[in-house]
Chain A
Amino acid sequence: MKGNSIIELKNVNFYYGESRALTDITMDFEKNRITALIGPSGCGKSTLLRVLNRMNDLIDGTRVEGEIIFEGVNVYSPDVDPVDVRRKIGMVFQKPNPFPKSIFNNVTYAPRLAGMMKRSDLEFLVEESLKQAALWDEVKDILDKSAMTLSGGQQQRLCIARALAMKPDVILMDEPTSALDPISTAKIEELMDELRKSYTIIIVTHNMQQAARVSSQTGFFYLGKLIEYDSTEKIFTIPDVKQTEDYITGRFG
């Protein structure tokens, strides 16, 4: 199990200015699995997600301590370019956020800037990514239409396709279905199960059932600390810590 981890966190602390948002997080994320991060609002789980692909760099006055080893390299070491990290670790946000461009150009936007130029390559990539995101059949005839005309669920799958087009190893999902209706949510969850075979997925969710349904590992966060991290089955049936049980059974949070 140890040898199969793709991201390892060692004693990670994270600060917004003076206030500490994450305290001494040590955890491994396993390859080709879905790991769920749960906990009440403000517990640091989204912060942790954004630490992994260095999105928190964008906020002035933030600071990271400890090590985050991704494929053998500390992503915060000075010689690592955050742009490279983000190409390898994709992200899907809470609210679908396609660009105000065509569906085709949404998918090809980043690959083009990364140097992919040939039209045939791009067309192949669009079809491949949209198929992986289970959106191809719905949009294959309207690739030139603006992404803004799609429904919320379709937009979110487009955002997943857009992330997949960069061929990342890891996909971070920050409450990807909280703005979607149950049917779209079910589609995204099915999709995640499919993607798990070739990608590692880390998902932050407020929906207990979702965590239980999709993930194989679950970490419970509270007040910036990792309270318990184990197989999803164990967390949701016989958690070791009282706080975890209280949260999962709805007694607080």
Chain B
Amino acid sequence: MQNVLQTSMAWRYFKQKVFFSIVTLSAMLIAFALGGLIFYIVLHGISAISWDFLTLPPTDSMTKGGIMPAILGTLYLTIGAIAVALPLGVVSAVYLAEYAKQGKFVRLIRIGINCLAGVPSVVFGLFGLGFFVLFLQFGSCILSGALTLAVLILPTIIGASEEALKSVPQTFREASLALGVSKWQTIYKIVMPSALPGILTGSILGIGRAAGETAPIMFTAAAFFTAKLPGSVFDEVMALPYHIYVLATAGTHIEETRSIQYGTVLVLVGLVLGIDLIAIVIRSYMRKKKRW
């Protein structure tokens, strides 16, 4: 009897070990993939990075010089997209989570949002071209690009914001309403502040996506080359993802500009991480303040 128990224990122990190994390995694989990616980009791109690279426009048919207009363009487009999508997304999420009576209509809206999230980004690009650039006659410019990107990231922001609003304990709402505070004031004063960290998470994801997409801005905002910095939202800009795409595929000096390409990629990754970092710092600061 004892023997039987011992063997089964050894077998159980063995199974446990195998299982844990698989789990650990999977986690390590992901970390390794991310680490490898960043390592590879830094390895190839760091040599291109210099003060001039970051502050000068490209020269000599984009084979030399810097990428400053593209950095600035991506910054403008991303900030513009967030500035439009965040308020709109949060307000929509408030409607869906707090006001809308759950029924067919709301289900339809939700299906719509989910579909929107699954649409390929090039479709957004074509939509932007058709609607903002041509129909509204904004032309190819920062405004069109930012609005197209805003539509692209809207589902992400709505989804994350709705989840954040729903995760606010119902007891907070009840406590506030029971004091004779109106529903709107309750949402504004109690629910929104508590949901803000989660809403910020949504915007972080949105920022990453807006900054990195090529297809939506290709037809709506991005210039192949312009040394001139934009003077208004109706000007075309260069943008990092499109610049990379151009250098890596469309130029005649693809091989010679490899290091510039990697450098640009490094800057793009750095930029996205930088913006994310700001949001993460704000979020953790808020979480510390609003713990329940």
Contacts and interface: CB of A to CB of B under 8 A. Distances in A.
B179 A97 contact: no
Interface stretch (B2-10, B54-62, B158-166, B169-177): B169-177
Contacts of B64: none
Interface in A103-121: 109-110, 113-114
Contacts, number: 68
Contacts of B118: none
22 contacts: A53-B178, A58-B174, A60-B102, A83-B182, A85-B180, A86-B177, A87-B179, A90-B179, A97-B169, A97-B171, A97-B172, A97-B175, A98-B175, A99-B172, A99-B175, A99-B176, A100-B194, A100-B290, A100-B292, A110-B179, A110-B181, A166-B179
A165 to B, nearest CB: 8
A188 interface: no
Contacts of B101: 60
Most buried by A among B101, B102, B169, B181: B181
Most buried by A among B175, B179, B190, B290: B179
Interface in A130-186: 146, 148, 159, 162-163, 166
Interface residues of A, number: 28
Nearest to B185: A113
Most buried by A among B174, B175, B177: B175
Contacts of A163: 178-179
B291 interface: yes
Contacts of A53: 178
Nearest to B169: A97
Interface in B170-216: 171-182, 185, 189-190, 194
B175 A159 contact: yes
